[in-house]
Amino acid sequence: MDKRIHLTGLTQAELTALVSEMNEPSYRAGQIFAAVHGRRLRSFDEMTDLPKDFRARLAERASVSTLKVESRYLSEDGTRRYLLKTEDNLPVEAVFIPEERRDTICFSSQSGCPLQCDFCLTARLGLLRTLTAGEIVEQIIIALNDAYGEGVRTPHGTNLVAMGAGEPFLAFEPLMKALRIMADPKGLYIVPNRVTVSTAGVVPRIRELATVADRPHLAISLAAPTDELRDVLMPINKKWPLEELMAACKEFERSLKAGERFTFEYVMLDNVNDSDEQARQLANLLNRHNLRAKVNLIPHNPAEPLPYRPSSPERVESFKAILESKGVQAYVRRPRGRDIYAACGQLAARRTANTLTANPSPV
Ligand code: SAH
């Protein structure tokens, strides 16, 4: 593997240390940071404000782009999926989701995933490797450049969700570093308040996040209202069962500012977790722990060979009505990019129809 330093994963302070080691004035660090994150340049050749010989010396020991765009897929609803490859040839996927108000980029924290959620296609890959901070940031740079053009300012700002492949709380350090780098006003300037991190329920990290001041929003994947069912659907539940998870959620909720809330995600599986009785159990679970979080209901995104089907729209509505009748706010999420395997739980490096050219170009 390339042993060069990946500049995309360095903070401004780390870049300053690097340029001083190379006997260059410290303002060069600011120039590099602005080029990589502000103008989103992907090669040293384009950084014409840096002296040529310095660029050559930099290229010897550092790189700006490590992820290769292997293919891009365009959904009929406008969603774009990027199948990327790391330098060690592992798949990484990111998804660009155009929306009326603010577009959303969904990124991956790991190549594959070690958790074995039974309804998720990514689980079938197993864990290949946790991504670096630079690889996380680069996914967003690639998606922004493709959607808007290289370096072009995003029209209304962009939301990020760590809901791609992998368990973000098993990539905690690189994830938090990537968020710090992306928040820098001289760079992408996407602040934690615009980011949502979704976890399958890594309890110690939920408690840790509760102590972080400048932090992203939190979403917790539930999928079942009882330990019995959750043990089967999400085996991580055997390690951190519902009572422990709910206690950590309560602690997190206590750390929220007035008006802030966190989210539970509940994937709706036909005839598995979607009965009226299960809706009551879910509402009782949240009410018993005095949690005010809202619930996002996500109809299952089917994919061969997953043995599940999405709940019918009527079932979802009935489930939602029961939650609401017990004082739990619930929203139904509209699936995006299902036709190109870009929706939740469908990221598994699949090759599908609707390929765009591999070379990114603006919409
Ligand atoms: N590992 C993290 C983030 C990735 S999964 C987590 O578990 O939260 C992002 C969301 O997609 C989770 O809420 C998960 O439950 C949901 N999901 C997984 N597979 C799905 C599928 N096939 N259809 C719909 N949602 C799915």
In the structure, what pLDDT confidence band is assigned to residue 344 with cuts at 50, 70 and 90? Answer: confident
Nearest CA to ligand 1 atom 19: 345
Q: Give the separation between CA 67 and CA 82, rounded to whole angstroms.
A: 11
Expressed in angstroms and rounded, the spacing between residue 308 Cα and the centre of ligand 1 is: 14
Q: Between 244 and 355, whose confidence is greater?
A: 244
Residues 266 and 316 sit within 8 Å (Cβ to Cβ): no
Ligand 1: which of 95, 107, 119 to mutate, judged by most atoms within 8 Å of the beta carbon? 119
Residue in 106, 113, 120, 344 annotated catalytic: 344
Nearest CA to ligand 1 atom 17: 345
Question: What is the predicted pLDDT for the residue at 155?
Answer: 75
pLDDT over 80 (residue 30): yes
Q: Give the separation between CA 363 and CA 361, rounded to whole angstroms.
A: 7
Tokens of 321: 């009505």
**Percentage with pLDDT > 70 across the chain:** 97
DSSP secondary structure string, 41-86? --SGGG-TTS-HHHHHHHHHHEES---EEEEEEE-TTS-EEEEEE-
Expressed in angstroms and rounded, the spacing between residue 123 Cα and the centre of ligand 1 is: 10
Nearest CA to ligand 1 atom 24: 300
Is the pTM value of this prediction over 0.85? Answer: yes
pLDDT tens-digit map of 103-113:
999 999 999 99
pLDDT over 50 (residue 257): yes
Q: What phi and psi values does residue 196 have, to the nearest 5 degrees?
A: -120, 130
Expressed in angstroms and rounded, the spacing between residue 338 Cα and the centre of ligand 1 is: 13
Taking alpha carbons only, the member of 193, 174, 171 closest to residue 183 is 193
Expressed in angstroms and rounded, the spacing between residue 300 Cα and the centre of ligand 1 is: 9
Residue in 70, 76, 93, 314 annotated catalytic: 93
Nearest CA to ligand 1 atom 5: 163
Expressed in angstroms and rounded, the spacing between residue 347 Cα and the centre of ligand 1 is: 10
Ligand 1 atom with the smallest distance to the CA of 219 is 8
Expressed in angstroms and rounded, the spacing between residue 345 Cα and the centre of ligand 1 is: 5
pLDDT over 50 (residue 121): yes
Q: Which segment of 165-174, 227-236, 328-337 scores lowest on mean pLDDT?
A: 328-337
Per the annotation, the verdict on 113 as an active-site residue is: no
Per the annotation, the verdict on 344 as an active-site residue is: yes
Task: Encode burial over 272-299: b for 16+ CB neighbours within 10 A, e otherwise.
Answer: bbbbeebbbbbbebbeebebebbbbbbb
Q: Which segment of 212-226, 239-253, 281-295, 348-362 scores lowest on mean pLDDT?
A: 348-362
In the structure, what pLDDT confidence band is assigned to residue 361 with cuts at 50, 70 and 90? Answer: very low
pLDDT over 70 (residue 93): yes
Nearest CA to ligand 1 atom 1: 167
Question: What is the predicted pLDDT for the residue at 295?
Answer: 97
pLDDT over 60 (residue 363): no
What are the pocket residues of ligand 1 if the criterion is a CB atom closer than 6 Å to any ligand atom? 119-120, 163, 167, 198-200, 221, 223, 265, 267, 298, 300-301, 344-345
Nearest CA to ligand 1 atom 13: 221
pLDDT tens-digit map of 286-311:
999 999 999 999 999 988 888 999 99
Q: Give the separation between CA 21 and CA 33, rounded to whole angstroms.
A: 16
